[in-house]
Structure 1
Amino acid sequence: MPRRTATMLASTLMLIALLCAGVFIKVPYSEMSPGPTVNTLAEHDGEPVLQISGRKTYPTTGHLNMTTVRVTSADYNMNLVEAVYGWLAHDNKVVPHDTLYPDGKTEQQSTQENAEEFTQSQESAKVAALKKLGIPVRSWVIVATVLKGSPAEGRLHAGDVVKAVDGTDVKAPGDVAKLVTRHKAGQDVVFTIVPAKEQAAAEKAQKTALRTRNVTITTAKSHDSGQQRAIVGISAGNDHTFPFTIDIKLADVGGPSAGLMFALGIVDKLTPGDLTGGKFVAGTGTIDDDGHVGPIGGVEMKTVGARSKGARFFLTPKDNCAAAAKDGPDGLTLVRVDTLDDALKALEDIRTGKTADLPECTTEG
């Protein structure tokens, strides 16, 4: 056999051997890629994404698209060949497995957490939108979660309304922790609550729950990595009553990152005219009850997904701007926003053709 032929054969066999080895070598990585993008002003799977009843709504045009990221499952074992391909692919991103599933989190746990965050983002989007429109929303502080094995287990329950702690009125979720940590571990703290069942019954009857009861809990010492403090083992949150019904119908989506786009869609449907002027606008970002926009993960994937569907403008949380601008898709203007007001002003500029006035993202932020 000629030397040249033998060399080529040996090289080919070596390459085949390396590829075979790469298929069987597992690596601790996961992959992110652009996911579906959905117009909050339109229908998805045959029904409107935003359904509002009990209040006059107005026709809308254009797009206000929320964006998503598709990720490999927690139990997916990526091989070396797939990892290399993902690193080379422009539209995909390979990241350490623990980035997406920290502390050995299972697929079920991740899905549950994403579902809870998605529900909370919907609530905050409704509150922020209605506040912007000057529509009153009733809010109160509740027990959001009770830690298993904690002093509060069996004493407080998710959904209980927290009226006061040690006789001091509670106005915001953060007040609860402040008042509890005034104690030393082993001391008693008194919660004044409306039990969840009584609150639910009052809401159903469209009444205000007036009867309260006191619950005394002995605090314990915290065991997390932070500074030691007194705890009872709950997290506090907000609950709301809206003056009319707003339903967000979007299955198989999780996480908090659609909050901004939901809020904009609600504002658009509840006000005359339209926010986009018929333009295709997409975006992302968490939102809180006061309309502050927060950063999200996978922004590079979301911009790619939005542009592939036809978006021309992308509302980008301020803290995501630098990452988004490093390799933004051609033809997509990345607009920096920090609040709901910023997003509404950007839409006004887009609608009226004043795109030169838009605060565009740069690699510096």
Structure 2
Amino acid sequence: MSIPAGNPPNQPSAVREQPVHHRFPDIRPRRLRRAGWGALAAAALASLGLAFVPSPYVVEVPGPTYDALGQTDAGPLIEIRGARTYPTEGELRVLTLAWFGNPQRPLSWVEVAQAYLDPADSIIPMSVAFPPSQTIEQSNEAGRVDMRNSQQAAIAAALLHEGHDVASEVRVAGVIPDTPADGVLQPNDRILSVNGRTPYDVWSIRESIAAVDGPTEFEIERGGEPMTLEVTPLVEGDERLVGIYASNEYTFPFEVDIELPNVGGPSAGMMFALGIVDELTPGAMTAGTAWAGTGTIAALGDVGPIGGIVQKLHGAVDAGATHFLAPVENCAEVVGHIPDGLTVFAVDTLDDAITAVETVAMNADTAALPTCESGASS
């Protein structure tokens, strides 16, 4: 807390018509003065010590951005072989987040306090960023699996949108030790159904697990033999977790590579799919407009919510984007946090995203397009 300079509230200034020349001796005991200085020194030392005390928080900030239509240090972000492609314009920015702090290197309270000064930063509990049930290495591995799955789902969604046939298998890629699935499911198990639902992709497995309040029934194929297994999920917050990494195995009619090194998580899926659709269709979808966006993608085109939407809005503006695609389910977080110069549209499917981009490109009336402010939030 800071005290403003000037007179105390509700106390007028003393008015003197003549200067006062009298000087009186300081009658305060020296012991009292020493105690006052001692208290100030103790407070200063306590504040200094606080700088080195670890906090139970991490700070989430906007990370680097990448153009799905452009290049990275590894080459083209999206490369299509075996099918005709078309020139593109503008930008379709993939947004990322960066975290400062982790259980091995926690931030000090002073570092956390500094984040309050920047609206683009978010302070979140360490236990949310790094769940106690996972090590940092397991968390990083989960991010890599999520990124691979999002890329595969984005390719599937884009090709299905363009009318191509895409076959799919879902398998167990790994099992997290000491979780409900440990000792029940095994790597390379082919998942035939989850709670009676046939999965087409990883996201549908998560939905099937969340839909049943109780044990999850897996029908799998292991070594060519079908079997039915039961796993009781672990509940963490709003999530029901069984402790597996699942992976999609799609059969595509031609080769599509997405190369984005050192980035994990599923939130770039929608923008990957848009980039693929743009390259496969005549004409530049954006007509030169700089877009950014975020959202998971399912193979059947559903767009899902992500974390850190406020930081990604700021990251989009920093990257020069003028238009933004936000998942409908993130709208409650978007309202009231849109930076100046950014127009945000709410999307629920890949078709919604394509419609928004093409409508802006044609300079058509966008009044009918859903926004978070217009009540698109779920």
Q: TM-score, normalised by structure 1?
A: 0.78
**Structure exhibiting the larger radius of gyration computed from Cα positions:** 2
Q: Quick check: 1:69–1:301 contact (8 Å CA) kept in 2?
A: yes
Cα distance change of structure 1 residues 251 and 73 upon mapping to structure 2, 3 Å threshold: farther
Q: Which has the higher helix share?
A: 1
**Hey, what's the Cα distance between the residues in 1 that align with 2:302 and 2:233?**
32
Answer yes or no: is the 8 Å Cα contact 2:92–2:290 preserved in 1: yes
Instruction: Give the residue type in structure 2 aligned to 1:95.
Output: I
Contact 1:260–1:287 at 8 Å: present in 2 too? yes
Q: Within 5 A, what are the aligned runs for 1:31-180? A: 31-45=59-73, 47-74=75-102, 75-103=104-132, 105-146=134-175, 157-161=186-190, 172=200
Where 2:83 maps in the other structure, the secondary structure is coil
1:361 and 2:372 correspond? yes
Instruction: Give how far 1:214 is off.
Output: 2.6
Among the aligned pairs, what percent are the same residue?
A: 37
Q: Distance in 1 between matches of 2:288 and 2:257?
A: 24
| Cα deviation, residue 158, structure 1 | 3.1
Partners of 2:87 and 2:284 within 8 A in 1: yes
Q: 1:158 to 1:311 in 2, by over 3 A?
A: same
Deviates more, 1:330-339 or 1:71-80: 71-80
Contact 1:151 1:220 in 2 (8 A): no
Distance in 2, Cα, partners of 1:82 & 1:139? 46
1:117 is displaced (CA, Å) by 0.5
**Bigger mean CA offset, 97-106 vs 61-70:** 97-106
With over 3 angstroms needed to count, the CA separation of the structure-2 counterparts of 1:170 and 1:332, relative to structure 1, is closer
Pick one of 259, 281, 296 that aligns with 1:286.
296
For 1:78-136, what per-residue CA distance to the aligned partner results, in whole angstroms no more than 9, with x for missing partners? 11111111122222111111110112533211110100100110111011101100011
Aligned partner letter, 2:107? M
Name the counterpart of 2:253.
243
Q: Is residue 335 of structure 1 aligned with residue 345 of structure 2?
A: yes
| One-letter amino acid of the structure 2 residue matched with residue 111 of structure 1 | N
**SS at 1:354 equivalent:** coil
CA distance in 1, matches of 2:246, 2:112: 41
1:234-254: CA deviation from partner (whole Å, max 9, x where unpaired) = 786642110111110110100
Q: 1:195-344 counterparts in 2 under 5 A?
A: 195=223, 213-214=224-225, 219=229, 222=232, 224=234, 238-344=248-354
Going from structure 1 to structure 2, the CA distance change for 1:191 and 1:356 (only over 3 Å counts) comes to closer
The CA distance in 2 between the partners of 1:169 and 1:46, in whole Å, is: 39
Say if 1:128 and 1:263, in contact at 8 Å, map to a contact too: yes
Q: 1:29 aligns with which of 43, 57, 63?
A: 57
How far has the Cα of 1:68 moved from its partner?
A: 0.6
Q: Which whole-Å deviations, capped at 9, do the CAs of 1:275-308 have from their partners, x for residues lacking one?
A: 1010000000001011000000000001101101
Give SS of 2:95's match. strand
Is residue 2:27 matched to residue 1:17? no
Write the deviation string for residues 152-171 of structure 1: whole angstroms up to 9, x where unpaired.
98997533545699xx9967
Q: Which whole-Å CA distance do the structure 2 matches of 1:223 and 1:304 have between them?
A: 36
Q: Structure 1 residue 359: deviation in Å?
A: 2.3
- The one-letter code sitting in structure 2 at the alignment partner of 1:361 is C
Root mean square deviation, CA, Å = 3.9
- Please say if residues 335 and 360 of structure 1, whose CA atoms lie closer than 8 Å, have aligned partners that are also in contact: yes
One-letter identity of the residue aligned with 2:352: D
- Residues 353 and 10 of structure 1: is their aligned pair in 2 closer, same or farther, counting only changes over 3 Å? farther
Code of the residue aligned with 2:167 in structure 1: it is R
Which amino acid in the other structure matches residue 297 of structure 1? Answer: G
CA contact (8 A) 1:323 1:363 kept: no
Residue identity matched to 1:25: V
User: Which blocks of at least 5 consecutive residues in structure 2 are unaligned?
Assistant: 1-24, 209-214, 237-241
Contact 1:326 1:363 in 2 (8 A): no
Q: Find the aligned partners of 2:154 and 2:362 in 1 and give their Cα distance.
A: 25
Contact 2:179–2:243 under 8 Å retained in 1: yes
In 1, Cα distance between equivalents of 2:57 and 2:197: 48
